[in-house]
Amino acid sequence: MATTCVKRAFKYRFYPTDAQTAELSRTFGCVRKVYNLALAARTEAWARQERVNYNQTSAMLTAWKKTRELAFLNEVSSVPLQQTLRHLQVAFTNFFGKRAKYPRFKSRKKSRKSAEYTTSGFRFRDGKLTLAKMSEPLDIVWSRPLPEGAKPSTVTVSQDAAGRWFVSMLCEDPGVRPLAAADGAIGIDVGLDHLLTLSTGEKIANPRCERKDRARLAVAQRNLARKQKGSANRAKARRKVAKVYARIADRRRDHLHKLTSKLVRENQTLVIEELTVRNMVKNRKLARAISDAAWSEFRGMLEYKAAWYGRELIAVDRWFPSSKLCSTCGTLQDRMPLHVRTWTCGCGTTHDRDVNAAKNLLAAGLAVTACGAGVRPQRRTPGGQSATKQESPRREP
């Protein structure tokens, strides 16, 4: 079986020394400053109906370094500063291609703290990583080994809101290769009572990671609200809140990784439903539960793992009435209120709402594979009811 090397990021936690912390903090500030200056220059040019490209902003950076006000930019490595200009160029390319909104300025408090180094900005030898302007290697916790003989092409250093330091190394991973063909094909219906319901009838429980830490989060947020703005105690309280959120996100991501890896290993074809989560979270009664379920993150993991391992992922149109359609005889029900979790069709078949939806998704996905045609959207049923996905009626406590 032919293999192709996949670019893969390996992320590790590290513990910087005081000198490294000061150097990285200066670098983060300079990266943010250069990005905002370049964005302001390009915005002014845009107002004059002119376009400024990466090469022009790179020349501007050279000029800025020669001024008295911005001479501090010379104190950090030039590689992350050049990389942030390239990132800005990509942001504008996506904007002009109508794939993203207009780039926004980076905030000191809210923006992600990160800096990217290319091969000229770091040294990786004998399993030790040393960044430019630093005399000592980073103290990295190697939670898993890099691929044998792998050499990072880029290194990204970041600090999250909880104060944790991470380094991400982009390497070619020859170990990622298509798996042997599997016979399985499965339909997947996402939900809230159960995170996933499979066409086989199996239901996977929703871990509700945010709910488990809700009491701890409430205490941390109340303590934060009592602290005076701008004080050191408020900064400490903010980090405690961030640590609770980080704990929730880590548990959720770990669960989704294990779940998606299992599904991709065992099935050749996976069929899911196209959902517009950004519209669904507008429902104030279910927004918290939908966000905690992380359906978008689940789909993203399925997409790249299916591409890595040679699996087929099919997304059925969200207007396809999977819940109302009898998977046995094909009869379409006029109405299917949210509180109805089991129902009996005229043909005598009793359906579990979610299992029936998963079976219908699988049938629609296999039809796409066989005929090469998409599932025709059905925005309205004969009864006049919307055929959009209907989730659990229970309010998240």
- 354 labelled catalytic: yes
How many other C-beta atoms are found inside a 10 Å radius of the C-beta of residue 218? Answer: 11
Residue identified by tokens 């000061």 is 22
Number of neighbours of residue 359 by Cβ within 10 angstroms: 24
The question of whether 312 is a catalytic residue gets the answer no
Residue burial 307-344, b: 16+ Cβ < 10 Å; e: rest: ebbebebbbbbbbbbbbbbbbeeeeebeebeeeeeebe
Q: How far apart (Å, rounded) are the C-alpha atoms in residues 187 and 271?
A: 5
Q: Distance from CA of residue 328 to its chain's centroid?
A: 37
HEC profile for 18-69?
A: HHHHHHHHHHHHHHHHHHHHHHHHHHHHHHCCCCCCHHHHHHHHHHHHCCCC
Decide if 320 contacts 364 (C-beta within 8 A): yes
Say which of 23, 116, 292, 354 is annotated catalytic.
354
Q: Does the CA dihedral 37-38-43-46 come out positive or negative? A: positive
Q: How far apart are CA 368 and CA 84, in angstroms?
A: 42
Tokens of 326: 């009898």
Class of residue 71 by CB neighbours under 10 A (exposed 0-12, middle 13-18, buried 19+): exposed
At residue 224, the 3 state secondary structure works out as helix
Q: Which two tokens stand for residue 347?
A: 């043909």
Catalytic option among 23, 210, 273, 292: 273
Per DSSP, the three-state class of 278 is helix
CA distance 247 to 224: 18
Active-site pick, 23, 116, 189, 391: 189
Is 172 annotated in the active site? no
> Tokens in use for 179?
């798996």
C-alpha to C-alpha distance for 108 and 43, rounded to whole angstroms = 20
As separate numbers, helices (DSSP H) first and strands (DSSP E) second, the chain gives: 10, 14
d(CA 219, CA 213): 10
Residue numbers annotated as active site: 189, 273, 354
